[in-house]
Amino acid sequence: MNIKRILLGGLVAGLILNIGEAALHAGVLADATVAAYKALGVTAVPNGAAMAQLVGMTFLQGIVGVLLYASLSACCKPSITLGVEVGLLLWFLSVVYGAVYLGAGYHGLLPANLIWIPVAWGLVEFPLAIAVGSRLYRKAG
């Protein structure tokens, strides 16, 4: 396992995830988010620290995805399919879990579209990002 290649692929995967998340939340779900915050009596203005945490964690997800890919490629055939499968695993463990947690744990607090549209979005976003990152991991070697 080459840490520099993991970081390269992981940071690119994280960049893809961050671009996707920005498009989703600042574009696709922007109006619905503002409406939900208004209904809750909350001003929908994220602060810099919160944004830094979100962006940082998303980059970390990309790095962890490529790290998992690198670890699994030692016992499985390194391929684009393996990258997609790792992306699906991360999607399930983070996005699906988070949606179920929000939907069940805070039932009725947020509209369903703000919980479940990101799940559908992530179903494409995570496998794509990790597949690209894993491809860079393989090509860099």
Contact yes or no for 129/10 (Cβ under 8 A): no
pLDDT at 140: 61
Residue written as tokens 């109006």? 31
* Cβ neighbours, 10 Å, residue 5: 18
Residue written as tokens 């991991």? 137
Q: Cite the DSSP H helix spans in the chain.
A: 3-23, 30-40, 48-72, 80-90, 97-100, 112-139
pLDDT higher than threshold 70 for residue 141: no
Kindly give, in sequence order, each residue whose CB lies less than 8 Å from that of residue 106, ignoring residues fewer than 6 positions away: none
Kindly give, in sequence order, each residue whose CB lies less than 8 Å from that of residue 109, ignoring residues fewer than 6 positions away: 40, 102
pLDDT tens per residue across span 38-92: 998 987 677 889 999 999 999 999 999 999 999 999 898 889 999 999 999 999 9
The whole-model pTM stands at 0.91
